[in-house]
Amino acid sequence: MSSSLPDYAIEAQGLDKTYRAEGKGESKHALKSINLNVPRGSIFGLLGPNGAGKSTFINILAGMVMKTGGTAKIWGIDIDKDPRNARGAIGIVPQEISLDAFFSPREILGVQAGLYGVPKGERYTDGLLNLVGLMDKADAYSRTLSGGMKRRLMVAKAMVHSPPVLILDEPTAGVDIELRQGLWDAVRALNEKGVTIVLTTHYLKEAEELCDRIAIINHGEIVANKSKSDLLKQLDLKDMYVTFEKEIDNIPDALSAYNVEKIDDTQIRLSYHSNKTSVQEMLGLLSSAGLSIRDISTQESDLEDIFLSFTRNKAA
């Protein structure tokens, strides 16, 4: 391997997967020639609804699913040409937790390090346990750990061979909201040490909290791939529907600065950026124009809308 670091921790080109039909099942084109580069050092979120193809992508990188087309490199290493080293460059936390119930965290990490051929003198079990906040549980049966602790132990297990890339598939599935923070802390700490993080999720909030770059996948296609701030700028749009007591002839002049549309004789829709616009000011303008309001409702663009907007307009 050359000594220079790759620009991208992961590079997928034309990556394709069709699951072949078995028995009565239908074949499924789960990944449609996707191109996806994950910049080195980032916390990268692959966001998409259930069935979008997230796990398929991860499992191809992990060597657990055979791709049907395209190429993928991990840390600059082609997964076909050098599968051993490619796999050595990633740690994977799979969607399903699997831990030996009667092994302690310390034992589980020891076994995993053995599997990866990490010499005893180079193991950093305590460091890992500390990093994931499980030092005080180091010798407890793993079956006694909470869902959040188990997930953190899975993170430590994925890191025993010190890979430069960590991939987490739906890391907060089965983790209580209060316990997620501990998992995020561990992920952030690893990222600060230089580990590139890729995580999949179907929760926008989760991607929003943690990731600096977000790609959206839908029906096996990448429909957006942007920095978080660019994506959120797009998401920040809200609609407010205002219904008046009486019919209005025109859109009130007072609202000319806003993006307004007349829906019918008594209703208008205001589109606005929720973090730039004062709702109070908008409503104040309406009442000083002498309009009395009967009803107001707002609609946030949620993940579903974003998917729709991105799938309608593929150039976005």
Q: Is the Cβ–Cβ distance between 61 and 87 less than 8 Å?
A: no
Q: Which of 29, 65, 40, 32 is nearest to 169 (CA)?
A: 65
Binding mask 8-47 for ligand ADP (x = CB under 6 A): -----------x--------x-x-----------------
Residue 269 to residue 35: CA distance in whole angstroms = 38
Task: Please name which of 311, 312, 313, 309 lies closest in space to residue 235, comparing C-alpha atoms.
Answer: 309
Stretch that binds ligand ADP, among 1-9, 51-59, 67-75, 129-137 (CB under 6 A): 51-59
Q: Which one of residues 30, 44, 55, 231 is an interface residue with Mg ion (CB under 5 A)?
A: 55
| Terminal C-alpha separation, the chain | 37
- Stretch of 48-56, 112-120, 128-136, 226-234 contacting ligand ADP, by CB under 6 A: 48-56
The three-state DSSP-derived secondary structure of 12-32 is EEEEEEEECCCCCCCCEEEEE
Tell me which of 55, 112, 125, 225 binds ligand ADP, using CB under 6 A: 55
Choose the one of ligand ADP, Mg ion, none that binds residue 19, judging by a C-beta under 5 to 8 angstroms depending on kind: ligand ADP
Question: Interface with ligand ADP includes 104 (CB under 6 A)?
Answer: no
116 makes contact, choosing from ligand ADP, Mg ion, none, with CB < 5 to 8 Å by partner type, with: none
Rounded to whole angstroms, the Cα distance separating 143 from 156 reads 16
Helices 228-235 + 303-312 axis angle, to 10: 100
> Binding to ligand ADP by residue 67, rule CB under 6 A?
no
6 binds, among ligand ADP, Mg ion, none (CB under 5 to 8 A by kind): none
Would you count residue 48 as binding ligand ADP (CB under 6 A)? yes
State in angstroms the smallest separation of the CB of 98 from ligand ADP: 17
Two structure tokens written together for 179: 């316990």
C-beta closer to ligand ADP: residue 50 or 280: 50
Q: How many CB atoms lie within 10 A of CB 209?
A: 13
Please report, as ranges, the residues that interact with ligand ADP according to CB under 6 A.
Answer: 19, 28, 30, 48, 50-56
Please report, as ranges, the residues that interact with Mg ion according to CB under 5 A.
Answer: 54-55
